Chains A and B, each alone.
Chain A
Amino acid sequence: MAGPSNEIPGRRGLEPSAVDRRAECEGGGPLPGTRWAARMEFTGRLTGEYVDHGDPPWRWYLMVDLEKKPDQWEWKSAWCESSSLYYDDDSGPPGALSGSAPGRAPSPGAETSEGKD
């Protein structure tokens, strides 16, 4: 099945400091049709593509080359919420270079690349 790269709505952009960084995502989400949720863990490479959803911005990064994913995950990629990512290196979260707080998306005015809807 194709990856979810064009599925989530929001302001899109590319964060240079996230490109090719390896990370773990402690993800999860609600299960449609139920009042339950599931935890899901991923390991892979960030492309640097992001989506900022809403205001204040809720940032999501695209992870590909998934080395670890839930048995049930059939897609080749996953969108990972920025604060649920843990990086293999210790150079700080993406966006730190542009002045955003750890785990938070930069404010719309401080985006590191051209965002597009």
Chain B
Amino acid sequence: MPKNPLHTKLCDMLEIEFPVMAFTHCKDVVVAVVNAGGFACLGEAMHPPDRISQDINWIRERVGGKPFGVDLVLPSSAPPAGTVDKLHEGIPDDYWAYARSILDKYDVPPPKAEQDLHTWGGLNQEIAREQMDVVLEEKAPVFCSGLGSPHFMVEAAHERGMKVMGLVGKKRQAVRELEAGVDAIIAQGYDAAGHTGPIGTFSVVPEVVSVAGDTPVVAAGGISTGQHLAAALCLGAAGVWTGSMWLCSRESDTDMVMKEKLLAADADSTVYSSSISGFSMRVTRCPWTDEWAKADALKPLHSPYQMLLSSEYIQGANDHRRGDLMTEAAGQGIGFVTEMKPARQMMFDMVEEALETFENLTGVMPG
């Protein structure tokens, strides 16, 4: 019987059935994906250490010893701190007026509660370190660094029986992380959601594979179908890292209005815009991104000023569930997600389509 192309070294390393990794902020999705034979990583960058500890144990109780991961964002460059009130003073009047004009034009309701940005003290090295320490203390099976090198904690993680993965956007970042001893590299392309590197998935994956040796490389960026999975394996990846597609799963806690928007989206529905945060990031198009993209629009401000400007729009839209206004970080692969299904079904559909793709290529049904 021909070799099963979906059984990769990533499967062996993580003891998983399918080489599919899910990134999600919803722990129900983590449990569903892990119990369906995949691997999932819970994004915890926004949570304090005690919440991270609770989440790890909650998942652990529901996956029967199967591995899962925790994803943090490690800062790798840092500005000074500042208070929100002080930052407000730094926004020019014409920008407040422009933001106000958008709110008025689209009848954006005011947020129901204090804006999140005003209650969040900002993340810095100290917070990241505290988050990291609890992940080590709880011995989460896998630590994934969504940004920044985890080099300084690889040894400590290995001593605790944990595995460490780093997400990179360039070959030389991968080289650095491999030198540090990470167990797998996630190579993420420009198609991905949020703030990405400049290199496309089809280029960055084989570049990273070329330097990774026996270390598994996981392809990320715009991946949401079995065809994508098959293509990633053909590029030399040992698996795929998926994110946006799980926002639409039945288990996901994404607002139903937003889910419907995502299910209706195509690849052209995302835009690389700095109007949300001040840094370019891939999000679904919305009136706010459209207005800031106009030829006569003001140039988006520096971060965090632009976030202060956009936060009223975003939170107002979310609090009042205004589908015509809402936006979400999503990759270009979102266009292939057209049905809300249980995560388990999404996983099986992806695997089945990948196997069909290989069969179509070779004329042989993989084993």
- B304 touches which one: A9, A31, A102 (CB < 8 A)? A31
- Give the contacts of B109-155 with A (CB-CB under 8 A): 115-117, 120-126, 128-129, 133, 146-149, 151-153, 155
Residues in A neighbouring B274, C-beta threshold 8 A: 72
Interface 9-mer from B1-9, B78-86, B331-339: B78-86
Knowing A31-B279, A38-B279 are in contact, say whether A78-B125 is a contact too (CB < 8 A).
no
Contact B194 A37 (CB under 8 A): yes
Return chain B residues, CB-CB under 8 Å to A42: 77
Q: How distant is the Cα of A74 from the Cα of B278 in the complex, in angstroms?
A: 12
Give the contacting residue for A56; candidates B153, B306, B329; CB below 8 A. B153
How far, in whole Å, are A10 and B125 apart by their CA atoms in the complex?
10
Name the contact of B196 in the complex, choosing from A9, A39, A53 (C-beta under 8 A): A39
Whether A28 is near chain B, meaning CB under 8 Å from some CB there, is: yes
Chain B residues with CB under 8 Å of A56's CB are 152-153, 155-156
Q: How far is the CB of B72 from chain A (nearest CB, A)?
A: 9
Any B CB within 8 A of the CB of A104: yes
Are B195 and A28 in contact, CB atoms less than 8 angstroms apart? yes
CB distance from A104 to the nearest CB of B (A): 6
Q: Size class of B's contact patch?
A: 35 or more
Which of B148, B152, B303 has most A Cβ within 10 Å?
B152
B76 to A58, Cβ gap below 8 A?
Answer: no
28 pairs, CB–CB < 8 Å, chain A vs chain B:
A9-B126, A26-B170, A26-B172, A29-B74, A29-B147, A30-B128, A31-B307, A32-B307, A33-B122, A34-B46, A34-B117, A36-B281, A37-B45, A37-B73, A37-B194, A38-B303, A39-B197, A53-B125, A56-B155, A58-B129, A58-B152, A71-B302, A72-B274, A72-B278, A72-B306, A81-B74, A83-B152, A103-B176
A-side residues, CB < 8 A to B, are 1-4, 7-10, 25-40, 42, 53-54, 56-60, 70-75, 78-81, 83-84, 86, 102-105
Contacts beyond the supplied A32-B304, A57-B152, A84-B149: 13 A-B pairs with Cβ under 8 Å: A30-B123, A34-B117, A53-B126, A53-B129, A56-B155, A56-B156, A72-B274, A72-B306, A79-B78, A83-B149, A83-B152, A83-B177, A104-B152
- 6 nearest CB pairs, A to B: A27-B77, A29-B75, A33-B117, A38-B279, A32-B122, A72-B302
